[in-house]
């Protein structure tokens, strides 16, 4: 992947942000990064885009993304649009010579994701993905401890993201199968799948057994009260509202995954990852996006059981994602999480949906597997 253009004297990256919903998190990230400047914003919701442009001092606003790509003087874009547009917007941006930071999930499926990764390679541009939750302090600490061998062999992990009433917007693109590609599995599950596999050291997944359900959404129940979206229609709920999966790895370890946008549970909006190792364990449990008080670690202290809570600091995940992206562009350093890592996760999501549809355990083809921890 190429970094800075040869002979370029640029020491700042000029960026366009496409999408004015979660595009806010990207604007906040770039605002923390002295070597980047957001100069253009695109979105169909003109009022919100203008409001964000004013707040973050962005000079140009556009409606459709094609106008931004044609007119703005930029080196890179953040792609923060509904899932079905990740592929066309990324391909258009790469064709226009821009580096791309795309929101999760990389795409609706591995076929689309593969096209994005190949196009970035062919263009010699960076394709990065916003797995922002890897940069929480609890995640970073556990990752470092696993890598240092402190947990021994991690043989079992559990990951969950459960909401009592958290459908992002009943009747919006989120609940439309064609536009979203799926429900909570592709929306929230992709985050916890990524965090768990990354913490485990990216073991190779060989088999998946999964089930999905749609029980509350089709009844018009479970819309997220804190959502930016108003409920637009009670009908037309086309995706799952709960998914569960068991993933088996080549090294014998397993991962149990559970995610719901809406379910009768005491968890209002909670996610986490637990790791069980031969020498120690770690449990991250995040309630309502708390940044501290979320990690407990387990081990031995002499002949007593150790149960401790490291002190944590709050961190803005998109800030770290943006910094890696900008560093990759200007300094030519490998970018992680990369598009290939994003592709690996959608490939597994495809297998989870396939297992659920077929009602049996399925093999995961490992051809074209992403590089995991490696460079893009």
Q: Kindly list the residues in this chain that would bind ligand NAD in the complex (CB under 6 A).
A: 18-22, 42-45, 64-65, 80-83, 85, 103-104, 130, 132, 187, 228
Nearer to ligand NAD, 132 or 202 (CB): 132
Q: Which is nearer to ligand NAD, 297 or 326 (CB)?
A: 326
Cα dihedral sign for 91, 97, 103, 106? positive
Minimum CB–partner distance for residue 244 and ligand NAD (Å):
21
Cα separation of 283 and 204, whole Å? 22
Closest CB to ligand NAD among 104 and 136? 104
Q: Which position's Cβ is nearest ligand NAD?
A: 21
Q: How near is the Cβ of 81 to ligand NAD at its closest, in Å? A: 4
- Residue number with CB closer to ligand NAD (22 or 234): 22
Q: Distance between the two ends of the chain, CA-based, in angstroms?
A: 7
CB of 172 to ligand NAD, least distance (A): 7
Rounded CA gap, 147 and 45, in Å? Answer: 44
Nearest one of 96, 49, 107, 105 to 73, comparing CA atoms: 96
Determine the 3-state secondary structure of 360 from DSSP. coil
In the three-class reduction of DSSP (H, G, I as helix; E, B as strand; rest coil), residue 161 is classed as: strand
Nearest-approach distance from CB 26 to ligand NAD, in angstroms: 9
Q: Least distance to ligand NAD from the beta carbon of 338, Å?
A: 16
DSSP string, 257-303: EEEESB-SSS-SEEEEEEEEESS-EEEEEEETT--SS-EEEEEEETT
Q: How far apart are CA 30 and CA 50, in angstroms?
A: 17
- What contacts 265, CB < 8 A, 6 or more positions away? 162, 164
Q: Identify the DSSP state of 187.
A: I
Rounded Cα gap, residues 110 and 339, in angstroms: 11
Query: Minimum CB separation from ligand NAD for residue 133, in Å?
Result: 7
Smaller CB separation from ligand NAD, 65 or 160: 65
CB 210 within 8 A of CB 243: yes
- Rounded to the nearest whole angstrom, what is the least distance from the CB of residue 64 to ligand NAD in the complex? 4
Nearer to ligand NAD, 227 or 254 (CB): 227
Q: Are 87 and 103 in contact (CB under 8 A)?
A: no
Cβ distance 186 to 314 under 8 Å? Answer: no
User: Closer to ligand NAD at the Cβ: 106 or 249?
Assistant: 106
Nearer CB in complex with ligand NAD: 51/331:
51
CB of 266 to ligand NAD, least distance (A): 23
Q: Tell how strand 99-103 and strand 76-79 pair up.
A: parallel
């Amino acid at each position: 992947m190429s970094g800075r253009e040869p002979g370029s004297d640029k020491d700042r990256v000029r960026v366009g942000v496409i999408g004015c919903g979660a595009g806010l998190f990207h604007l906040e990230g770039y605002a923390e990064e002295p070597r980047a400047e957001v100069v253009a914003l695109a979105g169909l919701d003109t009022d919100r885009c203008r409001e964000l442009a004013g707040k973050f001092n962005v000079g140009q606003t556009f409606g459709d993304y094609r106008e931004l790509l044609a007119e703005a003087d930029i080196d890179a874009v953040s792609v923060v649009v509904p899932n079905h547009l990740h592929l066309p917007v990324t391909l258009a941006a790469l064709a226009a010579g821009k580096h791309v930071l795309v929101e999760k999930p990389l795409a609706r499926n591995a076929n689309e994701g593969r096209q994005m990764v190949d196009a970035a390679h062919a263009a010699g541009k960076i394709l990065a993905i916003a797995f922002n939750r890897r940069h929480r302090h609890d995640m970073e600490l556990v990752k470092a401890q696993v890598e240092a061998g402190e947990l021994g062999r991690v043989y079992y992990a559990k990951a969950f993201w459960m909401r009592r009433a958290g459908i992002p917007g009943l009747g919006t693109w989120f609940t439309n199968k064609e536009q979203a590609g799926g429900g909570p599995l592709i929306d929230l599950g992709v985050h916890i799948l990524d965090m768990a596999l990354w913490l485990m050291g990216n073991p190779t997944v060989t088999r998946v057994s999964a089930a999905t359900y749609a029980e509350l959404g089709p009844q018009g129940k479970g819309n997220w009260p804190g959502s930016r979206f108003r409920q637009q229609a009670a009908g037309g709920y086309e995706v799952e509202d709960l998914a569960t999966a068991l993933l088996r790895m080549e090294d014998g370890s397993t991962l149990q995954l559970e995610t719901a946008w809406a379910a009768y549970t005491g968890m209002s909006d909670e996610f986490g990852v637990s790791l069980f190792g031969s020498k120690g364990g770690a449990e991250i449990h995040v309630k309502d996006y708390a940044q501290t008080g979320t990690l407990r670690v387990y081990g031995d202290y002499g002949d007593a059981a150790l149960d401790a809570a490291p002190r944590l600091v709050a961190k803005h995940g998109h800030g770290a994602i943006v910094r890696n992206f900008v560093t990759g562009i200007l300094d030519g350093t490998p970018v992680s999480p990369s598009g290939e890592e994003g592709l690996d996760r959608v490939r597994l999501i495809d297998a989870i949906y396939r297992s659920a549809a077929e009602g049996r355990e399925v093999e995961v083809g490992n051809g074209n597997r992403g590089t995991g921890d490696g460079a893009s």
